[in-house]
């Protein structure tokens, strides 16, 4: 008898639960604006960084937010380590990646990129006293890079991928810190980030560019085949370029645009 009663109570509870989640309001609100999860390695100022209260900010963040506004997307930014970032798209844990990601053929195999939204190039950071004048001369030096970045790629090409003189770090700020500590002779990373770091440590470093480095273009990434989302992002990007929003954001972080 007791168990029958218990069963009844359980059944009633279950049906009421099911009812609730199937109510029209519930359905509408969950479909209205699905929140998209954006992965970003937020240790890459001025593109993405974290404030003291753990909100992400930066050029990439502002650009994607402006795109989202145009295309009616709802976003939630999640600070995500660079290593493993790309696979988060495949697993579905992230819907979008914005992380100063250079578009290249290797990466295009595993994800789809938006139209380019920023041009960059590798830059070499050196101690102010360094005698190095070009990249080639770093063949026998210790170079600090962020693991798996394009800075890692160019350095691996020069020194050989398994050369112990390539010091790989989890984040670009860590590599630059090691330069400050004298643990590496140079750091190779994206110009925007190196310049930003330099602006805050003007006396310790100098930079050199090298003609052998080719131009890089940042793209916003979605899961391979997610054409619908990619179109929304591309349309939003065109719209913010057309109405001056892009230039306004650009100016905040990099000053007047040179063409």
Would you say 116 or 239 has its CB closer to ligand ARG? 116
Would you say 101 or 123 has its CB closer to ligand ARG? 101
Would you say 41 or 185 has its CB closer to ligand ARG? 41
CB of 41 to ligand ARG, least distance (A): 4
Q: Are 146 and 153 spatial neighbours (Cβ–Cβ below 8 Å)? A: no
- Please state whether 160 falls in left (phi above 0), alpha (psi between -120 and 50) or beta: left
**Strand ranges across the sheet with 35-40:** 74-79, 35-40, 96-97, 221-223, 111-113
CB of 100 to ligand ARG, least distance (A): 4
CB of 82 to ligand ARG, least distance (A): 4
CB of 42 to ligand ARG, least distance (A): 7
Q: How far apart are CA 15 and CA 166, in angstroms?
A: 61
Which ranges in 33-169 belong to alpha helices (H)? 59-71, 85-91, 105-108, 150-159
Q: Which of 82, 109, 72, 113 is nearest to 232 (CA)?
A: 72
Q: Which residues bind ligand ARG (CB under 6 A)?
A: 41, 44, 48, 82, 99-102, 146, 149-150, 172, 190
CB of 93 to ligand ARG, least distance (A): 17
CB of 58 to ligand ARG, least distance (A): 9
Would you say 103 or 126 has its CB closer to ligand ARG? 103
Would you say 70 or 113 has its CB closer to ligand ARG? 113
Enter the tokens of residue 126: 């050196």
The Cα-based distances of 25 to 13, 21, 31, 138 in angstroms read 20, 9, 10, 63
Would you say 70 or 125 has its CB closer to ligand ARG? 125
Task: Count CA atoms closer than 13 A to 120's CA, side-chain side.
Answer: 28
């Amino acid at each position: 008898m007791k168990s029958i009663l218990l069963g009844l109570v359980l059944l009633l509870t279950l049906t009421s639960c099911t009812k609730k989640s199937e109510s029209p309001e519930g359905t509408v609100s969950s479909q209205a604006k699905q929140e998209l999860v954006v992965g970003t390695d937020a240790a890459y100022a001025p593109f993405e960084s974290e404030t003291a209260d753990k909100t992400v900010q930066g050029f990439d963040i502002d650009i994607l937010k402006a795109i989202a506004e145009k295309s009616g997307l709802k976003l939630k930014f999640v600070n995500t380590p660079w290593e493993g970032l790309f696979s988060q798209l495949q697993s579905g844990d992230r819907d979008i990646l914005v992380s100063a990601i250079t578009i290249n053929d290797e990466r295009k195999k595993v994800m789809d990129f938006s139209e380019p939204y920023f041009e960059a190039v590798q830059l070499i950071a050196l101690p102010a006293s360094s005698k190095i004048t070009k990249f080639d001369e770093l063949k026998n030096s210790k170079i600090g890079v962020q693991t798996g970045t394009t800075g890692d790629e160019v350095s691996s090409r020069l020194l050989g991928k398994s050369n112990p003189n390539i010091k790989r770090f989890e984040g670009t700020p860590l590599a630059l810190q090691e330069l400050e500590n004298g643990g590496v002779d140079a750091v190779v990373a994206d110009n925007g980030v190196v310049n930003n770091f330099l602006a805050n440590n003007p006396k310790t470093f100098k930079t050199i560019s090298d003609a052998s480095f080719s131009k890089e273009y940042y793209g916003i990434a979605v899961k391979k085949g997610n054409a619908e989302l990619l179109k929304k992002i591309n349309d939003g990007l065109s719209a913010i370029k057309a109405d001056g929003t892009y230039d306004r954001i650009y100016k905040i972080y990099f000053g007047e645009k040179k063409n």
